[in-house]
Structure 1
Amino acid sequence: MPSRRTLLAAAAFAAIIGLAPAAQAAEKIVIVVGGYEKQIYLPAKLAESLGYFKDEELDVELLNDTAGVDAETEMLAGTVQGVVGFYDHCVDLQGKGKFVQSVVQFSQAPGEVILASSKYPDMKSAADFKGKDVGVTGLGSSTNFLTLYLAEKAGVKANEFTTLPVGAGATFIAAMQQDQIQAGMTTEPTIGRMLKSGAARVLIDMRTVKGSEEALGGTYPAASLYMPTAWVEKNKDEVQKLANAFVKTLRYINTHTAAEITEKMPKEFYGDDKDGYIKGLEAGKGMFTADGVMPEDGPKTVLAVLQSFKKELQGKQIDLSKTFTTEFVKNVK
C-alpha cells in the first residue's frame, strides 16, 4: 500500500501536469483508550477488527493506556484527538473550565465491580473500606471517582482509607494477591480471573443497569468516545464518520452473541481462558447502548455522584447539555 507521502507526491505531480489530482490520504485520527483489553471499552477494538473505520475511509490509530485520567491528559495536551473513556470526565472537566463532550455513548452502566480479597471475609460493604487500601486504575480516574462516591455514601470519608493506583489485569491481580490492596474496582476480564481463582469475591456489582441504579442512584452512562468540543465543531465530517463506525459496532454487539463477538477480538485479550472471556461478556453485554445515544437521565446521575465528594464541583453551575451531543449518532443511517 502506498504511503501517505507517496500519495501526496502523486497528487502534486498530477496538478503540475494538469491532470485531475489524486485523492489524498485521510488525516490520521489518534484515539487513546483507557485500557482497550477491558470489555467496557470493547467497541474500540471491535470497530477496528470489523473494518468499520476503513469502511468510512478513516485512518484511525488506537493507543492503549492503563487509566482514563492519563488518556484525558493526552487529549488536553493535543497529542490525541479523542478518548475512549468514561463520560464523567466530560462533567469533571467542565468544572475546571475545559469543554469536552461525549459524541458516542457506548454504555449505560459502568461495567465495574468492587472486589474484596478472600483474605478479608469480614469485609461486607463499602463501609468496611475504613483503614483499608482500595485499588483503582489511577488517581483521578473514573474508578477512583466511583470508589470515593461509594465510600462517601457508606459513611467513609476520603481521608479514612487509601485509594491506590494499581491498573487492571495482571497488575491489579498481583496487588490483591500480595495484599497491597484489600479491595478494588475493576472490570472484565479481570473480574472473571479473580473469581475463578477464588482470590476475591464481588462486593458491589455495577455491570448492569439495575446494579448501577442500586449502587449509584440511577442510570450511569460510562464508556464513551469523548473529544474536545472545539475539535468536534471544526471537524464535523470526521466526527460523523467516527459516529457511523461506532454505532455500526454497537449494533453488531446488540445483534451478535458473546461468542461471536469474542471471535473478532485479538486472542491476547482472553489468553488461555476464552470461555471465561465469553462468560464475562455474556453477563455484561447489556451495559452497551444499541445506538450510541446518551440515556436521558444519565448525565444528572453522573453530576450528582461527582458533586457528592468533589468540592470543586459543589455549588457550581454545570451545563450538562454541553457535556455530550447526540447530533452525530442520530444522523447514522
Structure 2
Amino acid sequence: MFIKRYSVLVLALILLIAGALSGCGGSKETTKVRIGEVTRSVFYAPQYVALEKGFFKDEGLDVELQTTAGGDKTMTALLSGAIDVALVGAETSIYVYQQGAEDPVMNFAQLTQRDGTFLVSREEISGDFEWEGLKNSVFLGQRKGGMPQMAGEFTLKKHGIDPHADLELIQNIEFANIAAAFASGTGQYVQLFEPQASIFEREGKGHVVASFGTESGRLPYTVFMTKGSYINKNKENVQKFTNAIHKAQRWVQEHTPEETARTIAPYFKDTDEDILISSVKRYLEQGSYAESPVLEEEAWNNLLDIMESAGELKERVEPAKVVDNSFAKAAVKANP
C-alpha cells in the first residue's frame, strides 16, 4: 500500500514538473517596439508582411504599429518618445542633425529605395506624355522640405521645368488631405502614392502618366530610424527588428504580387484586391522595394543632391553621422 501511494506521488510530481517546463517553453518573452509610419501605403508592403507573417514575433518582438501622418509629426513622435522607431524619409534624420541634436537620429534599415509617388493628371493625355506639358499648369505638390516634394522638384528641373516659376505650385495642404483635395477639383496634376493613384485611375478621377521613382533614381527614400540613445540601450532588439525586415524584403521579392496583396490586405480593408495587386506590381516593376536593408553610399549621395537642389541642405552630411549599417549588414550576412 505504501509503495503504491509512493508511486502515485512520484508520478504526480513528474507530471507537475513536466507541465511547469511545458508552460515555460510556451510563454516566450517578447519585447514591445512601437513603430510610427509616416503614412499608410502599399509602398511599405514589406513592413506589413513582417507583421502578418510573424517575422517580428519569431524574433521575440511585439511590434505595435501606428500611422503618424507627415514627416514632421513622425519625427516629433520619435524625439518625444511616443514611438521607438520611425518609418520615414531619411531626410528627416539630416534635418535633426543640422539642428545640432545631442541625441542624433540614426537610420538603421532601408525599406524603400525609390520615390514612391506617381504623377497623376486630371485629364487623360492622348499620345506620349511630355513633361513640357506641365508648364503653366496648376500642380498640387507635397510639403516643402519633404522627400516627395524634393524628389518631384528634382525631376521637374531635370526636364527643364522650374517648379516655382513655370507652375502654379500649391503646397499649403496637409499631407493626409492631398488626395481628397485633388478629388474635389484642386489642381491639374498631383503626386500620389499607391494605392491612391490606382484608385483614382479606376474611378476616373485621374490618370497616372509618369513615375517620380523612375525619374529621380535610387535613394534611401523610406528608412527605419531611431535615436542613438535607443540603439545604445537596445542593440539586440534593433538587430532582431532588422532581421525581421530583411526576411520580409526577401519574401516580397520571392512571391507574386497576388500573394503579397493578399498578405497585406488587412492593412487596406477599404481597398479592393485588384487595386492592391496592381499597386504592388507597379512598385516591384520599378524596383521601389529595397531588396536589402543596407543604405548604399551612392544612393545616399543622390539623396544629398536632391536636398541640395531643393535648397534644404546646409552642408553635405557623411553617412556615418546619421547611418548605422551594422545591423543591416549583419542581417544580410545571416540571411543572404
Report TM bin, short chain: 0.7 to 0.9
Matched letter for residue 188 of structure 2: Q
2:45 counterpart of 1:42: yes
Matched letter for residue 81 of structure 1: D
Q: 1:295 to 1:129 in 2, by over 3 A?
A: farther
Cα deviation for residue 242 of structure 1 reads 0.5
Matched letter for residue 34 of structure 2: V
Equivalent residue number for residue 35 of structure 2: 31
Matched letter for residue 254 of structure 1: Q
Equivalent residue number for residue 184 of structure 2: 178
Give the structure with the higher percent helix. 2
> Size of the alignment, in residue pairs?
300
Percent identity (aligned):
21
Structure 2: distance between partners of 1:276 and 1:263: 11
Q: 1:272 to 1:189 in 2, by over 3 A?
A: closer
| Aligned mate of 2:89, from 86, 90, 115 | 86
Equivalent residue number for residue 21 of structure 2: none
Equivalent residue number for residue 305 of structure 2: 304
Does the CA contact (< 8 Å) of 2:135 and 2:161 recur in 1?
A: no
2:61 counterpart of 1:58: yes
Equivalent residue number for residue 247 of structure 1: 246
Does the CA contact (< 8 Å) of 1:127 and 1:151 recur in 2?
A: no
Structure 1: distance between partners of 2:137 and 2:123: 17
Q: Secondary structure of the equivalent of 1:287? A: coil
Deviations 1:151-206 (A, max 9, x none): 555442547622143435xx444311222233221111111111222322234303
Equivalent residue number for residue 119 of structure 2: 114
Q: 1:124 to 1:163 in 2, by over 3 A?
A: farther
Does the CA contact (< 8 Å) of 2:115 and 2:151 recur in 1?
A: no
Tell me the TM-score normalised to structure 1 length: 0.79
Structure 1: distance between partners of 2:306 and 2:133: 17
Cα deviation for residue 237 of structure 1 reads 0.8
Matched letter for residue 230 of structure 2: W
Structure 2: distance between partners of 1:92 and 1:295: 20
Q: Secondary structure of the equivalent of 1:61? A: strand
Cα deviation for residue 306 of structure 1 reads 0.3
Cα deviation for residue 259 of structure 1 reads 0.9
Cα deviation for residue 147 of structure 1 reads 3.2
Structure 1: distance between partners of 2:164 and 2:32: 41
Equivalent residue number for residue 70 of structure 2: 67
Q: 1:239 to 1:40 in 2, by over 3 A?
A: same
Structure 2: distance between partners of 1:310 and 1:126: 23
2:154 counterpart of 1:149: yes
Q: Secondary structure of the equivalent of 1:29? A: strand
Deviations 1:5-58 (A, max 9, x none): xxxxxxxxxxxxxxxx9999544221101123x011222222111111111111
Deviations 1:107-128 (A, max 9, x none): 221221121222899x953773
Structure 2: distance between partners of 1:270 and 1:259: 16
2:160 counterpart of 1:128: no
Q: Secondary structure of the equivalent of 1:328? A: helix
Cα deviation for residue 300 of structure 1 reads 0.2
Does the CA contact (< 8 Å) of 1:135 and 1:163 recur in 2?
A: yes
Equivalent residue number for residue 167 of structure 1: 175
Q: 1:272 to 1:328 in 2, by over 3 A?
A: closer
Structure 2: distance between partners of 1:269 and 1:297: 34
Residue ranges of structure 2 left out of the alignment (5+ in a row) = 1-23
Cα deviation for residue 275 of structure 1 reads 1.1
Q: Which moved more, 1:197-206 or 1:301-310?
A: 197-206
Q: 1:158 to 1:230 in 2, by over 3 A?
A: farther
Residue ranges of structure 1 left out of the alignment (5+ in a row) = 1-20
Q: 1:141 to 1:71 in 2, by over 3 A?
A: same
Q: Secondary structure of the equivalent of 2:292? A: coil
Q: Secondary structure of the equivalent of 2:77? A: helix
